[in-house]
Amino acid sequence: MRKVLVVLLAVLGLAGLALAQTTVRVGVLLPISTVAGKAALNGVQLGVDEVNAGGKVKIELVVVDDGNTPATAVPALTKLMTVDRVDIVIGGLASGVTFALSGPVKQYNPLFLCIGAASSVVEQAFSDYGRFFHYHPWDYHNVAAALEFFKYLYDNGARRVAILYEDGPFGSAGIQTYRQQLQNQGYTVQAEPFKSGSGSFTAILTRFKSFRPDILYWIGYDVDALPIAAQTRQVGLEPKLIYGAPPAWPLGFEKNSLSNDVAGMTAWLPSVANTESRRFVTQYRRKFGEVTDEYMAPMGYVIAQSLGKAVEAANSADKDRIAAELAKVQMNTPFGPLSFKPSDTGRTRFQGFNQSIWLQFQYLEGSRRPVFPASRAARPLRFPGTY
Amino acid sequence: MMLAGVLLFLALVLPGLPLGQWRAFTLDTAQFAFLISGLALAWDLLARTGQLSLAHGAFFGLGAYAAALSAPALGTIPALLIGGAVAAFSSLLLGLATLRLQGMYFAIATLAFSEVMRTLVLKAQFTGGSIGLPVQPAFGGAYPLGGYYLAVAVLAICTAASLLLSRSRFHYAMTATRQGEAVARVLGVPVVRVKLLTFTISAFLAGLAGGVYAMKTLFLSPYDAFGLGRAVEALVIPIFGGLYTTTGPLLGGLIIVSLETWLRLRIGEGYLVVYGVVLVLTILFLPKGLMSLFARRKGARHA
């Protein structure tokens, strides 16, 4: 009899829990075949696991690949909206793809939690859409963060910047702005384009030699990192700092001695010393058996966590009630505090992070160390570096 | 021809079929499949003269950009025609300079053309450069199925052009040119003129498909519009379906896009491995493409 009562209570307890639980289906639309997309998905899954483990909210994910191209992403979003019937979508990593999604998003009206898409063109495309929550900083935030670092370098004696930029959208988009802003700071600038992946930089670097740059600033992709580091030494350029701005650094670059003293910018590193970051690293290692350097992983995690909080506060699966609660969310994250405000241009209503999340790091003795701003630095910047 | 007609009829009536919750997704996927199949049919036309073009991605991109830029002032249909015309004109210029080249040399010249076009669009201010170009939807978004039926129309035009050319005297000139230019010249075929005309028609169709693509994706970037991947897709589909035929690229395009979509939905990560294996196996066991299956059946019936 006693056993029966215990079982009955347990069943009632579980039933009560189920009744109190709010369940939401969330579409995840990411380029899962890319490193950043996969990292973002891992982060979202980790965040959702934690939310679901809390017991009050149950998030069910429907994951689809956006193929990193509009031709795949548009039908994929349509499927999420009309077949899987989700009301909330996490996605929007690449700017071009996200822009292409703006039409169908406005047609189906989901709550759209945008993980990347830094281009201001996207900001403009979603300017009249009230259910758009953009977590990642905009491109003007990225420029502001980099320029702050260059101002610091200028104060420390740097005067000439040689910019090596890839000729695609990534490298060319902000080049005129960068150039102008650096000149405004007092720098003399010389800039040359290159073809990413070509592996051959000696001609440009030799031309730069007569310019005697203090900073060699390259804007390209991971494949360019090692050839540039190697050929800078080969031609005897001897800048005081090699500063790179790829979307992702090559795997294992830190293990190569050529990486030493190379600097760059990221939104997050596993060595970032805040409670949320440490917690994220521990949980990520537990679930996936490794530590990631990709900041898209904690970005996905933050989105899932903030969504969980909003659903819990809304106590409803209604997307508008969730959006209203999400707008009020204030939480600590691996990047620092998160809350939503109108974007700096006023075009979108819910902007999460700004330039304050960016930090400058340097490859030092085989790992990336935060070196700027001083408040987040784990080590002093080695300037001049040895190349 | 019968199969091509059936496929076009199905494309036309697809929005009216009881597809239930899959309707919107199927129509979206079909729209892209029609455009890619149209591009493949356009590529195959030039292949019939023995030329291997890697410029069709660029014609597609030129058509897309020209249509996107002219649509606000001219409206959808004139803008699409402008897109086709710009692509055709650029192919004419390219053809005049390069169509005396053969085989790999021509392919390399067309590849260089694609790179030049991409760089020009990337550097130009009026194209939005590297930032990209927002595009108006077809007919200003007034008709929900407007874009879909434009894609069907492009596919129908490409199919009709392919069928008409394959049933005309011009077809013999194209085949003779492919099989041996020297012999064709001796037979009185104006080889360069044949190649140039085919190239222009082919580029016009590719540009037309590009214009509709732009009005569907609503945004163009030089890397997407001029991607080499699209040029490769344009040649893989006819090889998969069956070169120098109308039904081959048509069927091949629809099957390849459907297969890719299905694998992506079913397998998720790693679907490209399966997709690649399927393509390799098809090329290994059906070197003349899917159409060789029909030819075998026909041959068996006649035996």
Q: In which band, very low, low, confident or very high, does the pLDDT at A6 lie, cut at 50, 70 and 90?
A: low
Task: Report how far residue B53's alpha carbon sits from residue A33's, in angstroms, rounded to the nearest whole number.
Answer: 29
Residues of B with CB below 8 A from A83's CB? 21-22, 25
Query: Nearest residue of B to residue A175 by CA position?
Result: B130
Contact criterion met (CB < 8 Å) for B25 and A71? no
Contact criterion met (CB < 8 Å) for B137 and A121? no
Contact criterion met (CB < 8 Å) for A85 and B21? yes
Chain segment B39-55, per-residue pLDDT in tens: 999 999 999 999 999 99
Q: Which residue has the higher pLDDT, A167 or B38?
A: B38
Contact B155, B37 (CB under 8 A): yes
CA distance A68 to chain B (A): 10
pLDDT at B16 over 60: yes
Residues of A with CB below 8 A from B32's CB? 71, 74-75
* Across B173-179, average pLDDT: 95
Contact criterion met (CB < 8 Å) for A32 and B269? yes
* Across B263-288, average pLDDT: 83
Task: Please state whether the predicted TM-score (pTM) of the whole model is above 0.90.
Answer: no
CA B277 to chain centre: 23
Chain segment A121-159, per-residue pLDDT in tens: 899 999 989 999 999 999 889 889 999 999 999 999 999
pLDDT of the residue at B134: 84
pLDDT of the residue at B54: 95
CA distance B12 to chain A (A): 19
The verdict on A95 touching B (C-beta cutoff 8 Å) is yes
pLDDT of the residue at A8: 52
Q: In which band, very low, low, confident or very high, does the pLDDT at B282 lie, cut at 50, 70 and 90?
A: confident
Contact B226, B117 (CB under 8 A): yes
CA B275 to chain centre: 20
Three-class DSSP category at A102: helix
Task: State the number of CA atoms in the 13 A half-sphere of A372 facing the CB.
Answer: 20
In a domain, A381, yes or no: no
In a domain, A153, yes or no: yes
In a domain, A386, yes or no: no
Q: Which residue has the higher pLDDT, A198 or A105?
A: A105
Dig out the tokens for B184 from the structure.
Answer: 């064709």
CA distance A75 to chain B (A): 5
A232 and A306 co-located in one domain? no
In a domain, A383, yes or no: no
The verdict on A69 touching B (C-beta cutoff 8 Å) is yes
| DSSP string covering B108-172 | HHHHHHHHHHHHHHHH-TTTTGGG-EE-PPGGGG-STTHHHHHHHHHHHHHHHHHHHHHTSHHHH
In a domain, A147, yes or no: yes
pLDDT at B303 over 50: no
* Across B58-77, average pLDDT: 96
pLDDT at A77 over 90: yes
The verdict on A167 touching B (C-beta cutoff 8 Å) is yes
The verdict on A176 touching B (C-beta cutoff 8 Å) is no
pLDDT of the residue at A3: 61
A181 and A288 co-located in one domain? no
> Which residue range forms the structural domain that includes residue A219?
140-266+359-376
Give the closest of A74, A167, A170 to B119, CB-based.
A167
Q: Which residue has the higher pLDDT, A172 or A301?
A: A301
A117 and A181 co-located in one domain? no
A254 and A366 co-located in one domain? yes
CA distance A164 to chain B (A): 16
With a threshold of 0.95, tell me whether the complex ipTM lies above it. Answer: no
- Report the number of distinct structural domains present in chain A: 2
Contact criterion met (CB < 8 Å) for A172 and B265? no
pLDDT at B286 over 50: yes
In a domain, A205, yes or no: yes
Three-class DSSP category at B88: helix
A109 and A255 co-located in one domain? no
Contact A166, A196 (CB under 8 A): yes
Contact A43, A305 (CB under 8 A): no
pLDDT of the residue at B301: 56
Chain segment A216-252, per-residue pLDDT in tens: 999 888 889 999 999 999 999 999 999 998 877 888 8
A346 and A301 co-located in one domain? yes
Could you give phi then psi for residue B14, rounded to 5 degrees?
A: -50, -45
Contact A207, A233 (CB under 8 A): no
Residues of A with CB below 8 A from B223's CB? 96, 168-169
The verdict on A347 touching B (C-beta cutoff 8 Å) is no
pLDDT of the residue at B300: 58
Task: Report how far residue A59's alpha carbon sits from residue A45's, in angstroms, rounded to the nearest whole number.
Answer: 10
In a domain, A9, yes or no: yes
Residues of B with CB below 8 A from A66's CB? none
Residue A180, class by beta-carbon neighbours within 10 Å (0-12 exposed, 13-18 middle, 19+ buried)?
A: exposed
Question: What's the CATH code of the domain at A240?
Answer: 3.40.50.2300
A367 and A248 co-located in one domain? yes
* Across A325-349, average pLDDT: 97
A215 and A364 co-located in one domain? yes
Task: Report how far residue A241's alpha carbon sits from residue B274's, in angstroms, rounded to the nearest whole number.
Answer: 45
* Across B259-283, average pLDDT: 83
Q: In which band, very low, low, confident or very high, does the pLDDT at A211 lie, cut at 50, 70 and 90?
A: very high
A173 and A78 co-located in one domain? no
Q: Which residues contact A85 (CB under 8 A, 6 or more apart)?
A: A25, B21
Contact B61, B117 (CB under 8 A): yes
Contact A331, A337 (CB under 8 A): yes
Weakest-pLDDT range from A108-122, A172-186, B55-69: A172-186
Give the closest of B29, B129, B264 to A65, CB-based.
B264
Percent of chain A with pLDDT over 70: 94
A6 and A114 co-located in one domain? yes
Q: Which of B123, B127, B219 to mutate to probe the A interface, most A CBs <10 Å?
A: B219
In a domain, A48, yes or no: yes
A337 and A363 co-located in one domain? no
Give the closest of B131, B213, B271 to A119, CB-based.
B131
pLDDT of the residue at A13: 53
A366 and A244 co-located in one domain? yes
Mean pLDDT of the residues in chain B: 91
The verdict on A195 touching B (C-beta cutoff 8 Å) is no
Weakest-pLDDT range from A288-297, A303-312, B148-157: A288-297
Contact criterion met (CB < 8 Å) for B265 and A64? yes
CA distance B270 to chain A (A): 8
Mean pLDDT of the residues in chain A: 91
pLDDT at A331 over 90: yes
